[in-house]
Amino acid sequence: MAKKRKTKRNKKLTLKDILVIILIIIWVASALHQFYLNYIKPQTEPTVTVEQPNTTVEPTPTTTPDNISVDDKELYNTLASLRYNGSAYKVINDGVPFFKDETYETEFEIYSGLDDLGRCGPAFANISPLTLPEGKRGDISKVKPTGWHSYNAKELFGQPLIDNTQSVYNRSHLIAYSLTAEDANKENLITGTRYLNMNMTDFETEVLNYVRKTQQHVLYRVTPIFEGDNLLANGVLMEAKSVEDPSVQYCVYLFNVQPLKDGTMIEIDYKTGEIKH
């Protein structure tokens, strides 16, 4: 006997069912819209950049001191006009250097470029243990500063110089090798008499001893003073000032002259550096 199949009747949706479906659709749509606003829209919309006024405070640049020793041309000319009167040097500005009121806490060395005549300009440094040499000075004999000549006092005058040496001229470091380890730097070497070189050493040694003892800094500047277009400097202005304390301070002008053993002054033509004999 064959089984009788049950036929399925299509169930009709009631009004209640329709309302429930509508509410579910509305809820899902609302959720999807909120998801779009929170997570998708911020990433897809173009970014608008609003340019803000620059309120950043630029860092103060490392102080680079100017290397002009005497800004006042009148003062420079006054120094150039000074004449030797028996004293190796003259105190300038009551011994107070012409440094600007700035704080220098790091080492530096500045050497002026040579001028049109090949002459040196000021040499400026902040001396510290880090600038001192570690070895012996090298050969500087190949450097020929303006006004350079080789003269032997005994051959020319029959007697040595005041310190019993013979060579009238030295290659004089503006800033001593003992302070900055500069060898044959043509921007740091001038033609100086033995007398000038000898007297500069006393002031250089004061700075060197202080730095070695305290391990601190000394501002140090040496300016060769030329009169007009002369190739040989009339002298040098030496300035020094200890940075961390007032122990070292001087401002002196040293004469580029040369006495013989008997005290007679050698006559020098500063235009060329030649000796009159």
Using 50, 70 and 90 to split pLDDT, how confident is the model at 232?
Answer: very high
Amino acid identity, position 54: N
Select the more confidently predicted residue: 134 or 72: 134
Average pLDDT across the chain, whole number: 84
pLDDT tens digits along 93-108: 999 999 987 778 789 9
The two counts, helices (H) then strands (E), for the chain are 6, 10
Strand partners of residue 239: 221, 251
Among 235, 177, 248, 178, CA closest to 206: 248
Mean pLDDT is lowest, of 12-26, 113-127, 179-193, 237-251, for 12-26
Using 50, 70 and 90 to split pLDDT, how confident is the model at 44?
Answer: very low
Q: What is the pLDDT of residue 265?
A: 97
CA distance to 41, 117, 171, per residue, from 145 (Å): 76, 10, 7
Q: What is the pLDDT of residue 48?
A: 37
For 73-276, CATH number out of 3.30.9.10, 3.40.570.10, 3.90.1150.10, 3.40.50.300 equals 3.40.570.10
Q: What's the pTM value of the predicted model, to 2 decimals?
A: 0.75
Whether 211 contacts 247, CB under 8 Å: no
